[in-house]
Chain A
Amino acid sequence: MTNHLLPLFVIIPLASAFVNSLLGKRIKGFSDIISSIATLFLAVISVYSVFLIKDSGMIVYKVGGWAPPIGISMVMDGLTSFMLVTVNVIAFFISIYSINYMEKYTEKWNFYCLFLLMIAGMNGVVISGDMFNLYVFLEIAAISSYALVAFGTEHEGLEASFKYAVMGTVASSFILLGIVFLYSFTSTLNMADMSMEIARKGASCIVLLASVLFLMGFGLKSALVPFHAWLPDAHPSAPAPISAMLSGVLIKSLGIYALIRIFFSVLGAEPKILSIMMVLGVLSMMVGVILAIGQWDLKRLLAYHSISQVGYIILGIGLGTPLGILGGLFHLLNHSVFKSLLFLNSGAVEYAVGTRDLEKMGGLREKMGVTANTSLIASMSIAGIPPFNGFWSKMIIIAACVEAGHFAFAFCAVIGSILTLASFMKVQRYAFFGELKSTLNQIKEAPFFMKLSMIVLAVICVAGGLLLLPDVSKVFLGPARDAVLAGSEYAKDVFAALR
């Protein structure tokens, strides 16, 4: 009965958010404990699911006992378990980081409620095998993220949250419209059934229209360049753990995962759409990094880098070759590790110094050793310096570009990487190296739990390259890549797993 594991990924965060809202206010420290336990348990079962997938290939759970295509199904394949590990492991570290960090806010239990709802939404998007269900979970995650961006109720947070909510809602409307068109074409909502129906009916302009709507909607959710305007406002204005969550996993599970699932598994990988994805990827890569260099606000700089790094991921996926997809997925994992680490570092700096302006910092290395060293590791990872994890994934993406004959894209990727290095040298130079300013003599290092999660994420950054070892890759990255490459085989696998 391994398939009963699947609904747990949604039930646990939903239930703990509910319990939190009931008891969190009355019992002090209750919400810290319950959300840490819930996210730890989720992280453990997501890692366990990787081994399940290795043995059994694909697991399908029928919600309420109704067999698809009539009922809603939850589907777990290599890509799903890969995403679940990414989301839940990062969520656990962010949850324990928040224990100390969120002390400066009131209503801490409300924060944990929204945080757990967001995790429920993201896990739901990743695990759902039904189009409309995907939309519902996407909205759960999106609405709680709008509220979390405004959590501080300061000027910037509210303004950014309004902007983000308006753009996010329009994106969701586009996605729903795309689902409506696909439903009118195929008369089904189950992804596997839909994929078979589309393959049977052949290409049509309705499918093309729906693909464009999905590209707009999910492109906005994952902040690809023409649709990126909300990200540099929303991510810096949120509390640091939420910035880490948004940049680290939300844009990936809502945007990139959904793009991959719909374009590869449901609609079948169309070369036209893939080339659009590649161009958007290269565009985001360059525009994001160029805008990042000029920033003086630490978190805003990191937010622009998120746009740029998402470009790398989309470029790798859009290549459509096994190597490119492997690179894209690996970069997705790496980016979620080092970008959340960088946002947590910026949170620790803000916690101690009280500002995000790079010009007002300097010499923090003397006082905040752990933060400085972990951020140095994360900066080197994102800039692609060996032997950190970012180097391996970027190298694979560039090699895949060359292998597929796209030399211009490979060149852009190298340039983007160099510019990333330049802007992180700026961060290190102004924030952590140099002379300690006299105004900063009183600052202290971050508290225990913040240090703990930063150190563990830094260790993952250093050891991340080991995931490429053949034995490890066969268990973790390999099945994810195969699930993407399987394309319309997905439908057959789902119905085979039901029997």
Chain B
Amino acid sequence: MRLQRVARFLILCLIVMSSGIAWQANAEYADVVLNQKSEKEGVRPVIFPHWFHRIRFKCKVCHAELGFKMRVGSNHISMENITAGEFCGACHNGDVAWSADECDLCHSGKPGLKTGIRGGHETMGPGIW
């Protein structure tokens, strides 16, 4: 009984603390977190910065040529794809951009992040609106 109460209290503490942390989050607009497979495979989530890439390539290159669908969660990318030159691997091959052996440069997200796009009007307000 007492143990249960202590556990409940600890969970409450965690919620309070994490809400404090979430409140400080100020991710760059359009940063994408990819964590469908990363943490299950034991690496940090991937953070994809749209801003960095759009300075170098137009939307069409990734979203038409390379086949990235424009909906978060609909691109099931694995390291096999990337080393085979698909998706990120079309450029991240050591030729156009750094190669896939620079793990930490892409897998740089905080553990526990959910897959999704950050900073839009859907995520900034108190609710979905």
Partners in one complex: no
